Chain A
Amino acid sequence: MHAITTILDLPEEEFLNPGNRSCSGCSLGIAYRVALKALGKDTLLVVPPSCLTVLQGLFPIAATKLPSLNVTFASTAAAATGLLGALKAQHKTGIKVVAWAGDGGTSDIGIQALSGAAERGDDFLFICYDNEGYMNTGAQRSGTTPIGALTATTPFKGKLQPKKDVPAIMSAHGISYVATCSAAYPLDIYDKVLKAVTFTGVKYLHLHIPCPPGWGFNPRLSVKIGKLAVKTGLYELYEVEHGQFRLTGASQKLADKKNLVPVEDYFKTQARFRNLGPDQINEIQQLITTRWERYFQTMENGEEG
């Protein structure tokens, strides 16, 4: 296991300029800033259209100090492959390639290119920041929008289908490293990025990104809501290292202490869940409880994974 970084030993050098175009309270900025610190200078970024495009700034001003290539929506992973190809062809070493896409750009329109790159074993880090909707275009549903959530394209009934499990899809590709993080736990992001880049092939990080306007909550609550998603057990922090699953950080502690916060407390914080009735909440709570029972048992049995 890697050392756990504390706020005190986070590098001071910033790769994100102060002031950017994301909404107030956007947790993408937290995640992006800390991940770029972990990546460092020798990094090439690939970004498809998304909130991150906006955060990165309008020509000729850039919020990101790292070289960054804006690409078409569906092509993120293939573009990362292209950068690697160019680096190899020019015999340049020591430069990391990192793709950053939203959940739509990852789980929906971008999944073909991502799956292709994962299967080929192209050596880059793919980071999906999951704000659970197409936020750049005004909060429409995406494959990773959770069940029941009201969005601009599920305006009355809420989304009818459950969230697509992208990390599981990526794990099924047999890649060396898959992990989930939350913007509410930035140091965990830092450590997992540091760790991810030590593996070869496609590495996949999935970041949970609370989004005030898209989810309908006060901008000052982003971190609190991110933590609630983890503490209710709705969103797990974990790693899959060469196929070995293990809970990490706050989720691991949760499994130790067995004190899941009721998921209703999470739903209550966001306008997008205002349509959920008690039956639906119960159903979701049941699913979470059953899933976590397995984790509790694993902990009791003292198994690693």
Chain B
Amino acid sequence: MHIIESGNVAAALGVKLSRAQVIAAYPITPQTPLTEKLSEIVEAGELDAQYIPVESEHSALAVCIAASSAGARAFTATSANGLLYMHEQIHWAAGARLPIVMCVVNRGVGAPWTVWNDHQDSISQRDTGWIQIYVNDHQQIIDTVIKSFRLAEEVMIPIMVCYDGYLLSHTYMPFDVPEQDRVDAFLPPYKAPYALDPENPANLNTVTLPDIRFDAQGRLAHGYMEIRYLLQEDMRKALDAASSIERQFFEMFGRGGDAFFELYCCEDADYIAVSMGSLSYHLRDVADLLRASGIRVGVMSVHLYRPFPASMIAQALVHARRIIVFEKALSYGYEGALCSDIKSALFHHGHNQARPEVLGHVLGLGGREIRTEDLHEALKHSCTTPVAHPDEIGWIGLKI
């Protein structure tokens, strides 16, 4: 059924269709309407779930961690400072290998206070061991929430579904809401491989030594490092799992198709603009304009940011002369994280091949308006001017 609704409602409907069993969240702009919608869905009896109105984000994730440890499908959502307040829990959920799904409605972080969109919040959680997916529109929000529960439960790794605050969360777009029975066929009920249970008692997340150790029956158990190695291994395996789930989703629902990234006019492109989230649609318009003036530009929008599909990304980019990365986040003192990741993907790719140059731009921090003219100017300049200082990041829309 097609409806016209906000991005936050798309997320809530995805959670409902996924039959989440325990939902805990704390309001923060611009995630708040998602939280409200979920409480409404549960209170109206449209979803048989426990909705816990916790007193903080730290507790929201605590509830999800415990619920998931006891075998329930758990969901939470937050933005910006809420996400940062969860930080130790975010690491914990990944280390404990719990398939929690969380929507991050991207917003800049304080200080100073801002409620507007950028990606600094979720990018700063890049190294926590969560899968991170960035989506571009409302259809992708609802579909990705559903696919994420499937993927998280298959690889036992939690997932952040990241979408732009306001630009997606509060705007209205038409999208298709899949039927419940088809979602049920795609996403079976969660069966935890292990869960807290008096019939089968276990102590979870106990203090673990640096080295491997025998248990009381003389069997060797992992040390901390083995447990963390397996998280990395399974993260890399999640690339294949994500692809295969994406294929199945496409076969059932006729949408999506590439779990890793979306390419727009990249095949013959000399210049490829790379970004994440709704900005990539904006860049497509600019690419059209530039193509009309004879500059062959393509756009890559990265969906799966962790695990990073480095070789596939490099393959898709390596034929271009220049890659221009547009980011709403920054690793202060260096450059945008995506820019570094793209560089490293290309560096590892064909050693004997000529590699494209990579330029990084930062824009839209704290909701600074991204004007099409500025984007056009920056992209055009990046395509047509020799690169004097490849390490210098470009600031778009800066008024200083």
| A interface, CB within 8 angstroms of B | 41-44, 46, 53-54, 56-62, 64-72, 74-75, 77-83, 85-90, 95, 112-113, 115-116, 119-120
Least distance between B159 CB and chain A CB atoms (Å): 18
- Verify if B141 is at the interface (C-beta below 8 Å from A): no
Contact of A86 with B62 at beta-carbon distance under 8 Å, contacts A44-B198, A64-B203, A116-B56 already known: no
Least distance between A227 CB and chain B CB atoms (Å): 32
The answer to whether A75 touches B59 (Cβ under 8 A) is yes
1/0 per residue, CB under 8 A from A, across B219-233: the answer is: 101000000000000
Least distance between B19 CB and chain A CB atoms (Å): 10
The answer to whether B65 touches A82 (Cβ under 8 A) is yes
The answer to whether A59 touches B207 (Cβ under 8 A) is yes
Q: What size tier do the contact residues of chain B reach?
A: 35 or more
**Chain A residue at smallest Cβ distance from B202:** A67
The answer to whether A70 touches B72 (Cβ under 8 A) is no
Q: In the complex, what residues of B have CB within 8 A of residue A60's CB?
A: 206, 213-215, 219, 221
Q: In the complex, what residues of B have CB within 8 A of residue A112's CB?
A: 55-56, 58-59
Q: Which of A74, A82, A88, A113 has the most CB of B within 10 A?
A: A82
Q: In the complex, what residues of A have CB within 8 A of residue B290's CB?
A: none
Least distance between A240 CB and chain B CB atoms (Å): 23
**Chain A residue at smallest Cβ distance from B66:** A82
The answer to whether B54 touches A116 (Cβ under 8 A) is yes
Contact of A71 with B196 at beta-carbon distance under 8 Å, contacts A64-B203, A86-B72, A116-B55 already known: no
Q: In the complex, what residues of A have CB within 8 A of residue B214's CB?
A: 60
Contact of A72 with B62 at beta-carbon distance under 8 Å, contacts A42-B198, A89-B49 already known: yes
9 cross-chain pairs, A with B, having the tightest CB-CB distances, nearest first: A82-B66, A116-B55, A78-B59, A75-B62, A86-B70, A78-B62, A60-B221, A89-B21, A82-B63
Least distance between B265 CB and chain A CB atoms (Å): 46
Question: In the complex, which residues 35-66 of chain B have their Cβ closer than 8 Å to any Cβ of chain A?
Answer: 48-50, 52-56, 58-66
The answer to whether B65 touches A68 (Cβ under 8 A) is no
Least distance between A86 CB and chain B CB atoms (Å): 4
Q: In the complex, what residues of B have CB within 8 A of residue A43's CB?
A: 198
* Alpha-carbon separation in the docked complex, A289 to B214 (Å): 55
28 A-B pairs with C-beta separation under 8 A: A58-B206, A59-B209, A61-B213, A67-B198, A67-B200, A67-B203, A68-B201, A68-B203, A69-B66, A69-B196, A70-B204, A75-B59, A75-B89, A78-B58, A78-B66, A79-B62, A79-B65, A79-B66, A81-B62, A81-B63, A82-B62, A83-B66, A86-B21, A86-B66, A86-B71, A87-B70, A113-B56, A116-B56
Q: In the complex, what residues of B have CB within 8 A of residue A54's CB?
A: 207
Q: In the complex, what residues of B have CB within 8 A of residue A95's CB?
A: 198
Q: In the complex, what residues of B have CB within 8 A of residue A80's CB?
A: 66
* Alpha-carbon separation in the docked complex, A219 to B252 (Å): 67
- Verify if B185 is at the interface (C-beta below 8 Å from A): no
**Chain A residue at smallest Cβ distance from B26:** A116
Q: In the complex, what residues of A have CB within 8 A of residue B216's CB?
A: 61
Contact of A81 with B204 at beta-carbon distance under 8 Å, contacts A61-B215, A89-B67, A90-B72 already known: no
The answer to whether B24 touches A59 (Cβ under 8 A) is no
